[in-house]
Every structure is written in structure tokens, then in C-alpha cells.
Structure 1
Amino acid sequence: MSAFMQVYGPIPRQGPGTPEDVAWACARTELEPDARICDVGCGSGADFAALRAAAPEAEIVGLDPDLGLVVAAQTRLDDPSIRALRGVGIAGEGGRDPVTEGPFDLIWSAGAIYFDGVGPSLRHWRDALSFGGAVAFSAPVSAEDDAEAAAFWGGDAADTEATLDIAIAAAGYGIVARGRVPDAGWEAYYAGVLARCDALERVQDAELAVVIAGARQEAADWSRLRDRVGYALRVVRPR
């Protein structure tokens, strides 16, 4: 296991979010109890219980590229209707993604859609949706014309709320609902990260020390910039 995964793999969830985010999104799609759901970038399965609560008879397929996280996700709940598989948002030849495993009534992606981009992901996932199906996701956004906020995302030109909506429309989707991951979702995430850093602090390894230092700095930066960076929530459907 890499030094990065030593820090982030065992924590309760691998990104900011709350069960209430999932409930909010599912309620706005009017999800049927026996829906088919794909959780793209499922990590260790942090959202499986909330998805199950929203659709008690659903078949849930989680996709994540990391085998260790897939194993953790598959063993998280004793539920035969949940499958965790190695896969990504947009797969190459022979790989798994929502299109190969679909169709789905809901594609949920907590913080992972940015890996391939909102526009490319939504265009690709159109072919993974059943009739009337929806996509719900959280994605990084920052304040407009804010270099320090953009630097929080690694220097990329992070979307604002407005440019995110433009990208959604350009991909051929209409917006059903807009929201925001609350500070509580970030605070809980970083509490898990920092607790894991504390537990690993005595391990004498240069690579691990770099990851721990980066994780601590990221948590501090978010605390300072919390009013200028965050995760937007969107529920969207193809037009």
C-alpha cells in the first residue's frame, strides 16, 4: 500500500460529505425503492448505507480504481445487493465504468467526477442512464477570481458555482437541484484524516512523512478558506 493510501485508505470516508447529502440528492430524483444505483468513486463505501436507506430494495454497484478500497467497500455492509468493483468514471478498452455496468436509475459520485471532468463524465454517463435516470454529484468549486482558493485545488482553474452550471448545460443536462456540502461534511472528513495522521506520526518513513505533512497543511488551508472553497452539489438529468 502506498504512503498516500496508508493515510487515506483506512479513514471512514475518503472525501468530504454526509449521509444527508445522499438523502437530499435521492429525494430530488424521486428514486424508486428498487432502483439500480451506481456509486462512482465509492472509496471504502461510505455512502452505501445512505443509498440503501434511500432505496431499500436497490441494487447498488460501487466503482473505485483502488483494490484496497474496493475490498473495504465490499465488506462494509453485509448486503448481497451491493457489489463493489474495480472501475472508474470513464474506462478504457476492457475496463469497468457506469456504461459497462448500466443502465442505472441514479449515478451518484461524491467528489470523484472532477477526475475526468464534469463535462466529459456527464456526456459519457448519458449512455449509462435508464429512461428518466439522473446523475447526482459533488464537485470542487471556489470563489470567482480567487487565486488562493484555486491554489487549494492544486492550482487548477476550479469551477465557480456559475461555471459548473455552464458545464452541465453544455453537456446536455438540465439541473434538477442545487446544493452545497455543509461544513460538517468537511470537518468530519478532516477529523478522520488528522486522527490517522496522529496514529502514523511515529512511523519513521520519509515518504509517509511528506504525505502526513501535506494532509495537515490541507486541513489547515481548508479551515482558513472554508468560505471560499467547497463542494457544490448538483442533481441533473439529460435534456
Structure 2
Amino acid sequence: MEQAYATVFAGMTRQGPGSERSTRKALSLLPPLPDTGTVLDLGCGTGASTLVVADVLDRPVLASDVNPASLETLHQRARTAGLKNRITTSIASADATGQPDDSAALIWCEGAIFTVGVEAGLKHWHSLLKRGGVVAFTEMCWFGTERPADAAAFLLGCYPPMTDAASLLSLCFACGYRLEAMFALPEADWWDEYLAQIVPAIERYRGNPDPDIQSVIAICDQELDICRRFGAAYGYVFVILSKV
């Protein structure tokens, strides 16, 4: 299935909801970073946010992902953007970065902390951060009190159990962080930046005989349906934390 997703999603500039606009907004909300220390982009995928982080901060960025093909795409995009000398990559999971303790000034993670779990990720990152270090990540949450049954069933099948923003923040505090800023990604980050790319991607492979590719298409079709009907009930929040 991982290879099938890579095949269907190849060529997409984003592999999940988000936008350059939201990345830049989050960067503008960062508190002052330590003068020294690594900037890590964990679960970077093909680098949609990596390029923006490296450009805005004007600091070297170490981007990591478990998918070598995604990192190769990032290399190509960095060369095109004139940022190849500012971005290095490594194959690593977000909860096993291989980085030394007390070495990171900033840890960035858009749309990927769920792959290792929020608690596991935050605990691992806490030891990596220097004093005054900062974490910025996005995570899916329920908005309000409505929990549509169809949406809950679909999301549970492809995403860890979701909570609301208040409960997410409580977990962040328990892991040793202080809140600096938080905002919800706008609807356009879903429909204009992500889902609009899924439609032509799955149509290209609609007749493909590979059963794994057909499974990916079925999941994407369901995601589009759930987002159309219940998108107001859930979404991503951008959370910016500093190490206590």
C-alpha cells in the first residue's frame, strides 16, 4: 500500500493539507530561537514546507522522512528553488531521529506527528531541543462538539484516535511545553492545496489493475466524500510550543 500511495500521489506538490501561506504564518509566530542549534523538519515528505522554512529562516535545515523517493523529490525541488546548499536530508522516523540531545533550535513537523503519535513525538523531541527551543507541528482535531458517525468511522480507519484542541494542548503541557501560538488551517488548505490535487491523481489511475492502487483510490474517494459532508467538524491545527 505504501508503494501504491507513492505511485498515485507522485507529482503532487503536497501530500496533506497545508499551504505556503499557513507555513509562513506559523513562522511569523515563532518566538526568538536559540542562536545556535539545528533546524529539523521531520516527516518532511517531498518538502513543501521545508523549502519555505529554509527560505524564511535563512538557516540550514535538516529534513528527514522514511521514504527515500520523497527525499529525492525534495532534493530536486531544492535545486530548482536555489536552496540546495541550505537543505540536507536523512532517512529517519520522527520518533527516532538519530540526533543528539540538546542540539535542536527548532523542530518542524507538518502533517506527520500522527505517524508516531503526538505523545511519543513530543517526548522524543523534548530531549533534542536546546534551552529555549521551539516545536511547530500540525495535528488533526475535532472542532466543536459534533462527532458525525460516518466521519468518525472513516478517520479512525486511517488516523489515530482524534481529540479536540483543548485536550491536545493538555497533552503538550504534560510533555513539558509552553504554548506560544495556535491556529486552525483554513478550508482552502484542504480544498485548494490538497484535495484539488487528489482528484486528477486518482482519475489517472482509475482503470489501473493493481489492487493496492484501487484500494488507495477507494480511500481517496471516501476521503473526498467525508470532507464534503463533514469538513466543518474537524481539521488541522498548527501548534507552536517552546520547551519548558
Shift of 1:147: 5.2
Name the counterpart of 2:29.
28
Amino acid at match of 1:132: G
* C-alpha contact 2:37 2:130 (8 A) present in aligned 1: no
Shift of 1:99: 3.1
Judging changes above 3 Å, is the alpha-carbon distance between structure 1 residues 136 and 179 closer, same or farther for their aligned structure 2 residues? same
Moved more, 165-174 or 26-35: 26-35
* Structure 1 counterpart of 2:212, from 207, 215, 223: 207
Cα distance in structure 2, aligned partners of 1:30 and 1:54: 14
Shift of 1:52: 2.4
Amino acid at match of 1:19: E
Cα distance in structure 2, aligned partners of 1:130 and 1:68: 31
Name the counterpart of 1:44.
46
* Structure 1 counterpart of 2:227, from 203, 207, 222: 222
Judging changes above 3 Å, is the alpha-carbon distance between structure 1 residues 19 and 98 closer, same or farther for their aligned structure 2 residues? farther
Moved more, 1-10 or 45-54: 1-10
Cα distance in structure 2, aligned partners of 1:38 and 1:132: 15
* Structure 1 counterpart of 2:175, from 147, 150, 171: 171
Cα distance in structure 1, aligned partners of 2:171 and 2:31: 24
Amino acid at match of 2:99: V
Cα distance in structure 2, aligned partners of 1:8 and 1:100: 33
Q: With structure 1 as the length reference, what TM-score do the two structures score?
A: 0.89
Shift of 1:100: 4.2
Amino acid at match of 1:146: R
Name the counterpart of 1:15.
16
Cα distance in structure 1, aligned partners of 2:98 and 2:230: 34
Task: Report Cα offsets for 1:188-226 as digits up to 9, x if no partner.
Answer: 201111111112223232221121121121122112111
Give yes or no for the alignment of 1:119 onto 2:119: yes
* C-alpha contact 1:64 1:87 (8 A) present in aligned 2: yes
Shift of 1:89: 1.0
Amino acid at match of 1:190: L
Q: With structure 2 as the length reference, what TM-score do the two structures score?
A: 0.87
Shift of 1:104: 2.1
Name the counterpart of 2:57.
55
Cα distance in structure 1, aligned partners of 2:146 and 2:161: 10
Q: Secondary structure at the match of 2:13?
A: coil
Judging changes above 3 Å, is the alpha-carbon distance between structure 1 residues 23 and 220 closer, same or farther for their aligned structure 2 residues? same
Question: Could you list the runs of 4 or more consecutive aligned residues of structure 1 that deviate by over 4 angstroms after TM superposition?
Answer: 31-35
Cα distance in structure 2, aligned partners of 1:98 and 1:182: 34
Name the counterpart of 1:198.
203
Give unmatched runs, 5+ long, in structure 1: 92-96
Q: How many residues align?
A: 233
Aligned pairs (5 A) from 1:137-156 = 137-143=137-143, 144=145, 146=147, 148=149, 149-155=151-157, 156=160
Give unmatched runs, 5+ long, in structure 2: none
Across the aligned residues of Structure 1 and Structure 2, the Cα RMSD in angstroms comes to 2.1
Cα distance in structure 2, aligned partners of 1:86 and 1:31: 29
